[in-house]
Each structure stands twice: as structure tokens, then as C-alpha cells.
Amino acid sequence: MREILVVQVGQCGNQIGSRFWQHALNEFEKYNSVKVYDEAISSFFRNVDASGQSIAPGPNTPRHSLKARAILIDAEEGVLSSIMRSPIRDLFELTQFIGDTSGSGNNWARGFHHYGTKYHDDILDKVRRSAEQCDSLQSFFLLHSLGGGTGSGLGTYTIQLLADEFPTVYRFATSVFPSENDDVTTSPYNSVLALGQLIEHADCVLPLHNEALMEICERTQSQAAKGDAAAVIGGVDGGQKRAKPYDDMNDIAARLLTDLTSSMRFEGSLNVDLNEITMNLVPFPRMHLLTASMAPLVRPRDIAFQPRRITQMFDAVFHRDSQIIQADPTQHFYLGCGLFVRGSHVEISDIHNNIARIRPNLKMVPWNQEAFKVGLCGAPPVGLPYSLLCLANNTCVTQPLEAMIQRWNSLFKHHAHVHHYTEFIGLDEMAEAKERVLSVCRDYAEVERMAGTGGQAVPRSVAEAAPFHRQLPLF
């Protein structure tokens, strides 16, 4: 058993987390009724008895005995209170919550330095208790956004804390990037300051661009208005219209996480562990930002839906419209590419045939021409016959980062709103965070430049970087 501990921080992180736990619970209920999957239960859930003590899962383990391996953190009470009133409230105990009432005021520095210091001991105590309930803790999943104050500030404080206290456990950050027209004026500051911490303390960062998610949802709603059969986002509500405006966007992020971890929880002819993703897709330690795309992004309204062919799914994940980031990876160079398929009637040969078909149209760095990591899980998502998740380490990731730096410069050249940050940090700390992001942009740009000329070398700044060591937990 390789457990994953989910740490969801801020309003966005907890909303995505709430949706994710609903997906994970639905998958557990579907497959546990057919066969007992200890890993499916134990990766994300503890099975407890009436006294709250952990016990081994058994046939038809009841839903009410499951407790999520999660810590929920927010500087406001609203979202945490709504989770405790939601249908999944029984998954959580009050000891898993850390909350406040005043909020971080859209200020990274306040979230990081004020609330981080305030809740340091409480966060550490809850993480240690959760880790002690694991047989072999493999990874922390951080769910947060970069634009606000709590998700960016307290979220990155938490991942720094995890890096210090649990250096041998993988740290994956699912980070929602703000839109260019975000309603938080200070989001460029918050985003760059947060990214500076993620570059240093995360093993993998999965950027989810808010604008890309909105475009996917708008395109889907437009199809629905035209009477398209595949008209609603792939949720778990049987195609019913949702009340919350961001529910469809959160649903995509939640599905990404369940697809990413499916091989750890269910049987398959080619299972993939999280450490294999890092090993195969992150050739250099600081260049660990992975772009994501999924297919299908929509699910049917009616039962008579004819599923997409496997070839169509492979075409879709490399299409610009399926990218959950504001960039087109096919126009840039791949340092590595992971393709993770879920479906009971998919063969490994189908995957390799499609890779051979698509490979000539992709730009691969010269020193890693066959950089494909493949996974095949036999348990499809609930309500779908199969799905495909693509994770890529691609030089296109510099586009949203550079756009973020430009918005930072527009504010900082006038020192607009800086006084809110200098209450907690100095201007030198702000400049250092910006330089970290620019440094990663330069590394990716240099890889692209040298790959474009057919060069086999890598940038000196990358080659001379400190070696990346990870000692796996004993089990």
C-alpha cells in the first residue's frame, strides 16, 4: 500500500478537494462492490471502526466507515463550513480542519508569514498524525491556487514545511493559475511569489490555467446549446445541471487527480507509480512544471452514447483545445511525455500503435527522442468506458510564466500595492522570487533554442544544477 495525503489550502483548493473526494468515493463504491481493492481504499482512505481505530478493509466496506487522508486548511470559514454540510461530510473529522475567520486579504505575504507562523505547529501536528496512520506514505498532494492570499501564501508555506519535515516523501502541487483578467489586482505578485516557493520545494507542479478551464467549459456549454450529444463536463452527477458556477472547472481538476493515481489503486497491465512519473518526466530538478490534457473532457447526456475510439482520444489530448494551460505544446519541444490510459478493453498494443502514429508530429528534444512513459489501468472512470491523461514536460510552459512576469512588471514598476507586502517581507525577497521564475523560464527557453538547432547539449545552468536525490521510503 502506498498512501497519498491530500493537503487542500484556500477556497479554490478546498473546492477542488471537495470534488475530488466525491470522485474517489464514487470509484471506491463502484469497484469495491465487485472486488475488494485494498489499495483503492487505503491509498486515499482510512477504514475505521466505531471507536475511530483503523482496521483492514473487507468485502463491501460501508461508506460511513471511511475517513479521507486529508488536511483542510483555510483562513476563512465559508468553504470549510460548506464541506461539513455537504454529502461527503462524514469523510472528515474536525481534527482534520484548520480554519480562521479573517482571511489573508489576497496577500501572499500575509498568508505565508502571518498565517504560516500562526499555524505552523498545528499543521505539523496534523500532518504527522496522518503520516503515522500510513503504512508507506508515498506522496503529498497540495491543492491550491496562486492568485489569492491563502492558497498561494499559506499553501506554499505548507509545502516548504513538508519539504523540511518529510524530505523523502514526494510533493506534488496542483496549482490553479489565475486568468489574465483576474479580479484580484495583486494576483501577479501572489502568483510569482508562490511559484518561487514551488520551484524550490515541490517535486512536480501541475499548472491548471483558470482561463483554459473556463474556455473548455464555455465551449462545452455552447455545444449543449446546439443540442450536441456530448454536452456536459465529465462529472459524477449523471449529467444533471450544477448549481455552482465553478463546479465544472473543479470537476476537471478532480478527474485529473483520480486518473493520475488510478494505477496505484486498481489493477492494470502496465501500472505506474508516482515516483516513476517524476523519474521519467523531470530530467532536471528545477524544470518540473508539467502541462496536462485529458480526453474525453465531456460525457454524454444520454445512455445511447457511442464512446470515442482510442485513436480519437490520442488526437484529442495533443490538440490545443484539450490543454489545461494557455499554450500549445505541439509547437514546442517535449522533454518527456506521460500517457495514462484507463479502460477495461484497451490493449498495450493500442497505445504503442497510437504513439508511433503521433510521434512524427511532435517535437522531441534530440537527447530524449523516445521520451514516452505509458500507463494502463483496467478500471475506467465512473460513467465512461475509458479515458486518457497526458502529462508533458514541455518548453511551452514558459508562455504563461512570462505573461505572469509581465503583469508583475506592470504593477511593480510603479510600486503599486507594494506596501501591503513590505509589512511582512522586503523588496529583496520579492525580487528573489521573480528571479527564480525567470531563471526557470531561461532554462526552458535555452533547451528549446538548443533543441531547435539540433544540439545534443543542455544549458550550463541546468547541467551544473545540484543533483536531484530522492530516497524512497522503506516498505
The total number of residues written for the chain in this structure: 475
Host H or E run for residue 13: helix 10-32
pLDDT at 305: 41
pLDDT for the residue numbered 452: 80
What are the cell numbers at 12? 479554490
Residues paired with 339 in a beta bridge: 374, 390
Residues forming beta bridges with residue 376, ordered by sequence position: 270, 341
Contact criterion met (CB below 8 Å) for 234 and 251: yes
Task: Tell me the pLDDT tens digit for each residue of 129-176.
Answer: 999 999 889 999 999 999 999 999 999 999 999 999 999 999 999 999
- Taking alpha carbons only, the member of 236, 167, 164, 241 closest to residue 382 is 236
What confidence score (pLDDT) does residue 386 get? 86
Cβ count near 412 (within 10 Å): 19
Contact 153, 107 (CB under 8 A): yes
With residue 292 as reference, give the H or E element that holds it: strand 291-295
Percentage, residues of the chain above pLDDT 90: 59
Integer Cα distance of 10 and 60 in angstroms: 34
- pLDDT for 52 equals 63
Taken in order of first residue, the domains within the chain and their CATH numbers are 3-269 (3.40.50.1440), 298-397 (3.30.1330.20), 399-462 (no CATH)
Residues of the chain scoring pLDDT < 70: 1, 33-40, 49-63, 222-245, 298-308, 455-475
Predicted pLDDT at 78: 87
- Mode of pairing for the β-strands spanning 204-209 and 170-177: parallel
pTM of the entire structure? 0.89
CA 311 to chain centre: 25
Nine-digit cell at 86? 455537504
C-alpha cell at 97: 480542519
Geometric angle at alpha carbon 340, from 246 and 254, rounded to 5°? 20
- Burial of 447: CB neighbours in 10 Å, binned 0-12, 13-18, 19+: buried
Please give the backbone phi and psi of residue 68, each rounded to the nearest 5 degrees, phi first.
-70, 140
Rounded to an integer, what distance in angstroms lies between the CA atom of residue 399 and that of residue 449?
A: 15
**What pLDDT is stored for residue 410 in this prediction?**
94
Best CA proximity match to 111, nearest among 156, 172, 162, 178? 156
Sheet holding 70-74, edge to edge: 97-99, 70-74, 3-9, 137-145, 170-177, 204-209
> Are 154 and 9 a contacting pair, CB within 8 Å?
yes
Smallest CA-to-CA distance from 112 within 163, 158, 165 is with 158
The pLDDT of residue 266 is 84
